[in-house]
Structure 1
Amino acid sequence: MRSILWAACVRVGIDAEGAEVVGPQTAYKLPDGVVVRIGGRGKKLVASREVAMARWLDACGVSTVRLVPDIPQPVLVDGRAVTFWQNLPPHHPGTLTQVAGALGRLHRLPLPEFELRRLAPLARMAEDITAARTMSEDDRHWMRAHLEELRGRWKALPPGRSWSVIHADDWDDDVVVTDDDEVILTGLGRMVIGPPEWDLVHAAIECWTMASINAAQYADFCTGYGCDVTRWDGFYLLRDIQEFRMALHTMRAAADHPVYQRQAVRRLAYLRGDGGMRPWPGWGDLD
């Protein structure tokens, strides 16, 4: 990775001396505050979309992670897309009200002119079920039937807000606030075109499924955004899809890390109706 880092920096005229690893082994911080990210092989299109998204948000006046200016990006080295970013200033996590406000600003933007994928919430779920090797065949049979049910319901998604750019990922750590109160939206890599309600369901799950936030905090989120997604007819479908995705993620992890098996079994039992009413105790536990 360091050889790729050096080659990319030489190509754009940046000094890589003193680079330090930050986060995963594919990100480096340079002494001048530049953060260099090295993408996976064959991921140039993904990196290009992230670059386009950062530029588009900045042009729309939305505070987000900023690219190093005057550099053509991404830079391709040995099949990997390398991008250059300005390091974030000192910051702290945003409140639920600030998160809701940032999502609202994102959802109100006009659609970008560059190509962006549309939300496909059930994509790869069949593969995830097959990969859940620690679950029984009866369990996988139930999950395949549940997936077919969700597919049918998705085709009949009730009308809601106009589709827009959405964050499309768990946003807990992706809205930060600087010391001078600038709210910055990060986590651009998974943004797609989809129903804005998809981003809002995550807060409802944290309250009514996981009980990781209380009703008053959820009310603050709804006030910050301007509506309560649980009052929309399509809420239960999006909730069910997201909960199933969360369960499958745990099951796939359990195939390689046994520590997740207990949680995988617990989540499946809840989805099948064997654990009583929400909120579900232990849904957010790791084991």
Structure 2
Amino acid sequence: MGNEQAAREILDAACAQVGLDSSGASIVRLGENAIFRLPAKVIVRIARPGQLAAARREVAVARWLQTVDIPAVQVAEPDDQPVDVGGRAVTFWRELPPHANGKPVQVARALRRLHDAKPPSDLDLGTIAPFVRLSDRIDRATIAESRRAWMRDHLDELQRRWSDRPIGLPECVVHGDAWVGNVVATEGGDVVFLDLERTSIGPPEWDLVHTAIKHSSFAWIRLEDYRAFVDEYGYDVTLWEGFELFRDIREFRMTCMAVQVAAENPKAEDQATLRLECLQGARGPRPWAGWAALP
């Protein structure tokens, strides 16, 4: 949702529905979701079209996590969420106190606690969906047809490998997108989960691979930081026979996100191209240099 004016119109309409003042709202991010901060210390999240069910489940997950005392972003008023504005799901969240991305050892501690939690009996979390929306992102990409064809073939290959994936640790509640930007540490010491839309039942390795590839694929963290993560959680996903499959899917998801962003923002084109070339073998072996946050 890269159009600020369109996002603000949705923001104004949603806030009017629930009796909140949207004047003075500031942009936090215009990306996969449009996120605004209201002066009333409320964060407003506007999803892309077709995400009403996912947003409804995300609100329910946040409320469940609060009941089991697992720190996560908390739902603000109104009680009846999401708000539907022209098919776009709008949700309202309490603004967090000052915070920073979680350190690997903090992420491990938070994931251990989540993975050990008993799944809710009154909430259907569904199962992990590793390929959700990837085909649509490929279709929308503004890339050469030869690269689009390669991405489609690669997606097919990953789906075949997934259907025959090895058995790992017992399935549990997983966050689903546990990179450090979604597991943050407040100044008060709490480690808090954000972006709960992918929370579901699945293999815990799916959450663990996020931190593993930060070292093995991109060299974003040092080996000693990854070892601290492993020691804290109690398991090294890189030693599991399914690691390469989970790694490859995560890297492909990151690349699909980049081509989607590049279709809306030319500043992301170089990053999208770099990621594609890495996956296609044109940038040598891992760890790859140059993978960076999207604009």
In the alignment, what sits opposite 2:130? 121
Deviation of the 1:209 alpha carbon: 1.0
Q: 1:130 to 1:55 in 2, by over 3 A?
A: closer
CA distance in 2 between counterparts of 1:285 and 1:85 reads 24
- What secondary structure does 2:180 align onto? coil
- Given that 2:171 and 2:204 are in contact with CA atoms closer than 8 Å, whether structure 1 keeps it comes out as yes
Map 1:189-204; keep pairs closer than 5 Å: 189-204=197-212
The number of aligned residues is 279
- Tell me, in whole angstroms, the C-alpha distance in 2 between the residues paired with 1:244 and 1:41: 23
**SS state at 1:23 partner:** strand
> 1:39 & 1:247 partners in 2: Cα distance?
20
SS of residue in 2 equivalent to 1:173: helix
Over 3 Å counting, the alpha-carbon distance change for 1:254 and 1:67 in structure 2 is closer
Structure 1 residue 219 displacement after superposition: 0.8
- Gaps in structure 1 of 5+ consecutive residues: 10-14
Structure ID, larger Rg: 1
Q: Corresponding residue for 2:103?
A: 95
- Counterpart residue type for residue 102 of structure 1: A
| Equivalent residues of 1:209, 1:283 under 8 A apart | no
Distance 1:94 1:28 in 2: 21
Report the Cα offset of residue 153 of structure 1.
0.9
Question: Does structure 2 conserve the Cα–Cα contact (< 8 Å) formed by 1:209 and 1:278?
Answer: yes
Is 1:8 the counterpart of 2:18 in the alignment? Answer: yes
Other structure's SS at 2:97 match: coil
What SS does the aligned partner of 1:61 have?
A: coil
Question: Quick one: structure 1 residues 140 and 101, their matched pair in 2 at CA, closer, same or farther if it must change by over 3 Å?
Answer: same
Whole-angstrom CA distance in 2 between matches of 1:37 and 1:285: 20
Bigger mean CA deviation after superposition, 245-254 or 95-104: 245-254
1:6 counterpart letter in structure 2: A
Q: Quote how far apart the aligned CAs of 1:40 are.
A: 5.7
Output the CA distance in 2 between the equivalents of 1:125 and 1:83. 24
Are the aligned partners of 2:12 and 2:22 in contact in 1 as well (CA < 8 Å)? Answer: no
Q: Which residue pairs with 1:12 in the alignment?
A: none
Cα 1:29–1:235 change in 2 (3 A) is same
Q: Note if 1:66 corresponds to 2:74.
A: yes
| Unaligned ranges ≥5, structure 2 | 1-10
Please, what TM-score do these two structures have when normalized by structure 1? 0.84
Return the match for 2:26 from 21, 45, 48.
21
Counterpart of 1:151? Answer: 159
2:245 aligned residue (237, 261, 269): 237
- In structure 2, the CA distance between the partners of 1:56 and 1:210, relative to structure 1 (3 Å rule), is same
1:91-122 deviations in Å (ceiling 9; x for gaps): 33322111111111111112223122322212
Contact 2:174 2:199 in 1 (8 A): yes
Distance of aligned partners of 1:63 and 1:283 in 2 relative to their CA distance in 1, 3 Å threshold: closer
Residues 83, 89 of structure 2: 8 Å contact kept: yes
Deviation at 1:17, TM superposition (A): 8.3
Q: Equivalent residue of 1:27, what SS? A: strand
Q: Normalising by structure 2, report the TM-score.
A: 0.82
- Point out the more displaced range, 125-134 or 239-248: 125-134
CA–CA distance in structure 2, aligned partners of residues 178 and 239 of structure 1: 29
Instruction: Please identify, of 166-175 and 150-159, the stretch whose mean Cα deviation from structure 2 is larger.
Output: 166-175
Question: What is the aligned counterpart of 2:267 among 259, 268, 286?
Answer: 259
Q: Deviations over 1:238-270 (max 9, x none)?
A: 101111222222233333434333333332232
The separation in 2 between residues aligned to 1:40 and 1:140, in whole angstroms, is 22
Range with bigger deviation, 248-257 or 44-53 = 248-257
Aligned-residue offset at 1:49: 1.1
RMSD (Å) for aligned C-alpha atoms: 2.8
The correspondence for 2:142, drawn from 133, 150, 156, is 133
C-alpha contact (below 8 Å) 1:27/1:36 kept by paired residues: yes
For 2:131 and 2:90, the matched residues in 1 are separated by 30
